């Protein structure tokens, strides 16, 4: 859905916002405002914390299991690591992701 917009911002691509881009933008906007993306935290529901750490980025999502049996995101984050932190071992990067997600 967002692919045309991503193509538009690539280097050495002329910025010509024609009808294809307008349609893609409207579809993306409608999807973002029509559905609830994040839910409120409920201390009574089961929670799961998922993290991912690569060489340059740490990311995480806190989700909860709702009464309909579906997991919904409560909060998420993505952060580019400082160059010194890129040298951390994988388990330290994962712990960094947990700490940053919960703070």
Q: Each residue's pLDDT tens digit in the chain (103 positions)?
A: 677 777 777 778 788 888 888 898 888 888 777 766 789 999 999 999 998 888 888 888 999 999 999 999 998 888 888 888 888 888 888 888 888 888 8
3-state secondary structure of 42: coil
Please state the pTM of the whole predicted model: 0.61
- pLDDT at site 17: 82
- pLDDT at site 35: 65
In the numeric block, which tokens belong to residue 3? 């692919």
> Which domains are seen in the chain, by residue range?
3-34 (no CATH), 47-102 (3.10.20.370)
């Amino acid at each position: 859905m967002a692919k045309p917009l991503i193509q538009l911002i690539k280097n050495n691509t002329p910025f010509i916002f024609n009808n294809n881009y307008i349609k893609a933008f409207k579809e993306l906007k409608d999807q973002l405002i029509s559905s609830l993306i994040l839910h409120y935290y409920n201390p009574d529901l089961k929670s799961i914390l998922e993290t991912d750490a690569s060489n340059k980025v740490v990311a995480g999502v806190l989700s909860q299991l709702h009464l309909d049996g579906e997991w919904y995101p409560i909060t998420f984050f993505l952060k580019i690591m400082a160059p010194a932190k890129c040298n951390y071992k994988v388990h330290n990067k994962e712990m960094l992701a947990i700490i940053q997600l919960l703070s």
